[in-house]
Structure 1
């Protein structure tokens, strides 16, 4: 068997390594997207809760005003 020269790699080996790197980069990109989607959902959920709380406060105020009017 021939000894491989130091510092040189074969084309097929280079392709394999490039594919591995591309795959790893793609996986990291997908995970980052998932994290951002989760953050967006959490933020959206908080905003909805805040909106619901405001609506509940308004309803409570209206009920109190109606009761005061009736009295």
Structure 2
């Protein structure tokens, strides 16, 4: 894992903790129950990965076809 990815993960976790702390301090309930929210995030990550995989496989073919 590269240093950039590690920093992005650390920043995401810290921002999430900050947001959770603000929810508690303000007394606002969480916008989504924890498990459904995590399932939604997992779905987003899987969708992002699948899209990048599909696009990565399609792009080399379109570039080689244009060069011919």
TM-score (norm 2): 0.48
Structure with max Cα Rg? 1
* Greater length-normalized contact order (CA 8 Å, ≥ 6 residues apart): 2
TM-score (norm 1): 0.46
